[in-house]
Chains A and B, each alone.
Chain A
Amino acid sequence: MRAIIFLVGGLLAVLAFMFYVKTHLITPENMFFFTLEVKGGKKHQEVVEELVKKLNEKGLKVIRTLPMSKVIHERGVKDFPNYTTILACDIKEKKELLRKVPFMNVLIPCSVVVYERKGKLYITAPKEFLLIKDYSQELGDRDAQLIADVYQKLRIAIAEVAEEGRE
């Protein structure tokens, strides 16, 4: 009887663990997006400006900042939450990299978004992990590492802006 209880208990524990992994860890959102909530009561525009400065400082050159919500508001849709896209990661190796693996254009340059949702401010960037793995043969070790390094710097820049309070 005790053995059966242990067996059923173990099975339930495994199923609970699998359910947790399925619903919390292996979600498409977790696999494809890196998102942090911005702390410290910063304003949207303040975060955008800080992030642009931080990205440039880290060598992840910002190409353009697209104030999506501003343009949408100008078109008459006033209830659209603040939303800005920053196009960055304009690295000097892009020519060689994109000629070699054109589809890496979805990662280089990178788009980072700063947006409001339900009263909170978030920063989201893509995650490179799956694509680098999938294209590892074409990329080779050096270029795979190059993209991984760019995205690591990107995550650090986002974390620094999101976690730091107002100066």
Chain B
Amino acid sequence: MIRVILVLILFVASFSFPQEREKHPLQYEEVIKGMDFEDVKLLLKTALDGRNMNVLGVVDVAKEKPRFSYMLVCNLSYAEKIFREMPQLGVMAPCRVYLYERKDGSVVVGFINVDTLLRLFGKKLSKEAKEVFKKADREVKDAIKEVRGEL
């Protein structure tokens, strides 16, 4: 029931909320200030790799300012546990972690909001698979913290 309500809220939100002021429930972003885009990219890749969130590739969509890149991130052990139970979730994989440069020079790192995904699809997953999902989410967020020097 909660999942249905959440889907309906997302649907209704699309017609009624001022989008530029409200972050979408499926979107997770963090702003990193005082660092160059290329430094953030390199440190993030290293931090993700260090947490076994394997970076399969880095795609530079825009090399000139404002720069935009994304990383294809995957942990096969996690994927195995989740896809075994709900293979459709593979369309979210490899997880894309994107980075873009804002006018003030800050860099935004974003990816899909796992909490919302779990609220939507959690009923289809076992407790163990949900834990794996949360662990993956924590690891990406910790990698971002490491880039900011907070870990």
Contacts and interface: CB of A to CB of B under 8 A. Distances in A.
A83 B88 contact: no
A27 B19 CA distance: 24
Nearest to A22: B4
A64 interface: yes
A21 B100 CA distance: 40
Contacts of B121: 28-29
A85 B94 contact: yes
A101 B66 CA distance: 13
B64 to A, nearest CB: 10
Contacts of B151: none
Contacts of A124: 87-88, 90-91
Interface in B9-42: 10-11, 13-15, 18-20, 24, 26-27
B44 to A, nearest CB: 15
B83 A115 contact: yes
Contact of B90 (A29, A31, A115): A115
Interface residues of B, number: 47
A133 to B, nearest CB: 4
Contact of B87 (A64, A75, A113): A113
Contact of B24 (A22, A112, A134): A134
A35 B94 contact: no
A105 B96 contact: yes
16 contacts: A26-B7, A68-B83, A95-B68, A98-B61, A98-B98, A99-B66, A99-B100, A102-B108, A103-B26, A103-B110, A106-B92, A111-B90, A113-B87, A115-B83, A131-B24, A138-B19
Given A98-B68, A103-B27, A134-B10, 4 more contacts: A75-B76, A85-B90, A99-B62, A105-B110
Interface of A: 22, 26-29, 31-33, 35, 64, 66, 68, 71-72, 75, 77, 80-81, 83, 85, 87, 94-95, 98-99, 102-103, 105-106, 110-113, 115, 117, 122, 124-126, 130-131, 133-138
